[in-house]
Protein backbone atom coordinates (compact mmCIF):
# COMPACT_ATOMS: atom_id res chain seq x y z
CA UNK A 1 0.00 0.00 0.00
CA UNK A 2 2.84 2.43 0.71
CA UNK A 3 4.17 2.02 -2.83
CA UNK A 4 0.81 2.58 -4.48
CA UNK A 5 -0.14 5.85 -2.78
CA UNK A 6 2.87 7.94 -3.99
CA UNK A 7 2.42 6.61 -7.52
CA UNK A 8 -1.25 7.56 -7.53
CA UNK A 9 -0.32 11.01 -6.25
CA UNK A 10 2.25 11.52 -9.01
CA UNK A 11 -0.19 10.40 -11.68
CA UNK A 12 -2.90 12.70 -10.34
CA UNK A 13 -0.47 15.60 -10.07
CA UNK A 14 0.67 15.20 -13.66
CA UNK A 15 4.11 13.85 -12.68
CA UNK A 16 3.91 11.12 -15.31
CA UNK A 17 4.03 12.05 -18.96
CA UNK A 18 2.18 9.68 -21.27
CA UNK A 19 3.86 9.39 -24.64
CA UNK A 20 4.53 6.98 -27.46
CA UNK A 21 8.23 7.03 -26.60
CA UNK A 22 10.38 4.00 -26.17
CA UNK A 23 12.93 3.09 -23.56
CA UNK A 24 16.11 1.00 -23.68
CA UNK A 25 16.24 -1.69 -21.00
CA UNK A 26 19.16 -3.96 -20.16
CA UNK A 27 18.09 -7.46 -19.07
CA UNK A 28 20.44 -9.95 -17.41
CA UNK A 29 19.02 -13.35 -16.54
CA UNK A 30 20.86 -15.06 -13.69
CA UNK A 31 20.59 -18.54 -12.22
CA UNK A 32 21.08 -18.24 -8.45
CA UNK A 33 21.86 -21.38 -6.40
CA UNK A 34 22.97 -22.46 -2.98
CA UNK A 35 25.85 -24.88 -3.33
CA UNK A 36 27.16 -24.65 0.23
CA UNK A 37 30.18 -22.53 -0.65
CA UNK A 38 31.99 -20.53 2.02
CA UNK A 39 32.05 -17.48 -0.27
CA UNK A 40 29.78 -16.23 -3.03
CA UNK A 41 30.86 -16.97 -6.60
CA UNK A 42 29.87 -14.92 -9.63
CA UNK A 43 30.25 -16.39 -13.10
CA UNK A 44 31.56 -14.54 -16.15
CA UNK A 45 29.47 -11.67 -17.47
CA UNK A 46 27.96 -10.65 -14.13
CA UNK A 47 30.32 -7.77 -13.33
CA UNK A 48 27.74 -5.08 -14.22
CA UNK A 49 25.01 -6.60 -12.03
CA UNK A 50 27.07 -7.95 -9.12
CA UNK A 51 25.98 -5.17 -6.76
CA UNK A 52 22.32 -5.90 -7.60
CA UNK A 53 22.56 -9.61 -6.72
CA UNK A 54 25.33 -9.97 -4.13
CA UNK A 55 22.93 -9.31 -1.25
CA UNK A 56 20.61 -12.16 -2.24
CA UNK A 57 20.54 -15.31 -0.12
CA UNK A 58 22.45 -17.50 -2.61
CA UNK A 59 26.11 -18.40 -2.92
CA UNK A 60 26.47 -19.14 -6.64
CA UNK A 61 25.42 -16.97 -9.58
CA UNK A 62 25.58 -17.90 -13.27
CA UNK A 63 24.63 -15.73 -16.23
CA UNK A 64 21.91 -17.30 -18.37
CA UNK A 65 21.40 -14.45 -20.84
CA UNK A 66 22.16 -10.78 -21.30
CA UNK A 67 20.45 -8.49 -23.79
CA UNK A 68 19.41 -4.87 -24.24
CA UNK A 69 15.96 -4.31 -25.72
CA UNK A 70 13.80 -1.38 -26.71
CA UNK A 71 10.41 -1.42 -24.97
CA UNK A 72 7.69 0.53 -26.74
CA UNK A 73 4.37 1.87 -25.49
CA UNK A 74 2.32 0.45 -28.34
CA UNK A 75 3.54 -3.16 -28.32
CA UNK A 76 4.93 -5.94 -26.15
CA UNK A 77 8.66 -6.57 -26.33
CA UNK A 78 9.41 -10.25 -25.79
CA UNK A 79 12.74 -11.61 -24.53
CA UNK A 80 13.21 -15.39 -24.66
CA UNK A 81 15.17 -16.23 -21.51
CA UNK A 82 15.46 -19.99 -22.10
CA UNK A 83 13.21 -22.92 -23.09
CA UNK A 84 11.04 -22.37 -19.99
CA UNK A 85 10.64 -18.60 -19.53
CA UNK A 86 10.11 -15.43 -21.55
CA UNK A 87 10.08 -11.84 -20.28
CA UNK A 88 7.53 -9.46 -21.80
CA UNK A 89 8.03 -5.70 -21.35
CA UNK A 90 5.87 -2.73 -22.27
CA UNK A 91 6.82 0.92 -21.76
CA UNK A 92 4.09 2.87 -19.93
CA UNK A 93 5.40 6.37 -19.20
CA UNK A 94 8.26 8.56 -18.02
CA UNK A 95 8.04 10.95 -15.06
CA UNK A 96 9.45 14.44 -15.23
CA UNK A 97 12.31 13.31 -12.95
CA UNK A 98 13.28 10.56 -15.45
CA UNK A 99 11.79 7.54 -13.66
CA UNK A 100 10.18 5.09 -16.05
CA UNK A 101 7.07 2.94 -15.60
CA UNK A 102 7.23 -0.43 -17.33
CA UNK A 103 4.75 -3.30 -17.34
CA UNK A 104 6.62 -6.58 -16.96
CA UNK A 105 5.51 -10.18 -17.00
CA UNK A 106 7.33 -13.48 -16.98
CA UNK A 107 5.62 -16.18 -18.98
CA UNK A 108 6.04 -19.92 -19.05
CA UNK A 109 6.79 -20.92 -22.63
CA UNK A 110 4.11 -23.38 -23.86
CA UNK A 111 5.25 -26.97 -24.28
CA UNK A 112 2.78 -27.57 -27.12
CA UNK A 113 2.98 -25.60 -30.36
CA UNK A 114 0.12 -23.13 -30.66
CA UNK A 115 -0.73 -23.19 -26.95
CA UNK A 116 -0.98 -19.91 -25.08
CA UNK A 117 1.79 -18.97 -22.63
CA UNK A 118 0.98 -18.93 -18.91
CA UNK A 119 1.80 -15.79 -16.92
CA UNK A 120 3.97 -16.72 -13.92
CA UNK A 121 4.56 -13.15 -12.70
CA UNK A 122 3.03 -9.80 -13.61
CA UNK A 123 4.02 -6.42 -12.19
CA UNK A 124 4.39 -2.73 -12.98
CA UNK A 125 7.86 -1.40 -12.24
CA UNK A 126 8.97 2.15 -11.53
CA UNK A 127 12.61 2.31 -12.52
CA UNK A 128 15.14 5.07 -12.00
CA UNK A 129 17.55 5.33 -14.95
CA UNK A 130 20.84 3.58 -14.24
CA UNK A 131 19.50 1.69 -11.19
CA UNK A 132 18.90 -2.07 -11.08
CA UNK A 133 15.58 -3.79 -10.36
CA UNK A 134 15.44 -7.53 -9.62
CA UNK A 135 12.58 -9.87 -10.50
CA UNK A 136 12.81 -13.36 -9.05
CA UNK A 137 11.21 -16.27 -7.28
CA UNK A 138 10.84 -18.67 -10.20
CA UNK A 139 12.52 -22.08 -10.25
CA UNK A 140 15.33 -22.65 -12.72
CA UNK A 141 16.85 -26.12 -12.64
CA UNK A 142 18.41 -26.50 -9.16
CA UNK A 143 18.17 -22.81 -8.44
CA UNK A 144 16.15 -19.67 -8.96
CA UNK A 145 15.78 -17.33 -11.92
CA UNK A 146 16.68 -13.71 -11.14
CA UNK A 147 16.10 -11.09 -13.84
CA UNK A 148 18.10 -7.89 -13.36
CA UNK A 149 16.66 -4.97 -15.31
CA UNK A 150 18.10 -1.49 -15.78
CA UNK A 151 16.78 1.45 -17.75
CA UNK A 152 19.42 3.28 -19.77
CA UNK A 153 20.22 6.80 -18.58
Task: Tell me the Cα Rg of the chain.
Answer: 16
Looking at residues 17-22, what average pLDDT do you find? 57
pTM comes to: 0.84
Integer Cα distance of 126 and 107 in angstroms: 20
Quick count: other Cβ atoms within 10 Å of Cβ 16?
Answer: 19
pLDDT digits (tens, 9 = 90+) for 80-109: 999 999 999 999 999 999 999 999 999 999
Quick count: other Cβ atoms within 10 Å of Cβ 152?
Answer: 12
CA distances 116 to 6, 88, 145, 146, Å, are: 35, 14, 21, 23
CA distances 32 to 40, 65, 141, Å, are: 10, 13, 10
pLDDT digits (tens, 9 = 90+) for 39-60: 999 999 999 999 999 999 999 9
* Whole-number percent of the chain with pLDDT over 90: 78
Integer Cα distance of 67 and 57 in angstroms: 25
Q: Around 1, how many Cα atoms within 13 Å sit in the side-chain half-sphere?
A: 0
pLDDT range class, residue 13, cuts 50, 70, 90: very low
What string of DSSP letters covers 85-133? EEEEEEEEEEETTS-EEEEEEEEEPPSSTTPPPEEEEEEEEEE-TT-EE
pLDDT range class, residue 152, cuts 50, 70, 90: confident
pLDDT number for residue 88: 98
Amino acid sequence: MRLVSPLLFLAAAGGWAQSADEVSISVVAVQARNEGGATKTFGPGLEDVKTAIEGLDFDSFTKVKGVTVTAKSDEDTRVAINDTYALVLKYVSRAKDGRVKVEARIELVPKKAGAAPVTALRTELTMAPGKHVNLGGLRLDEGELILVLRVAR
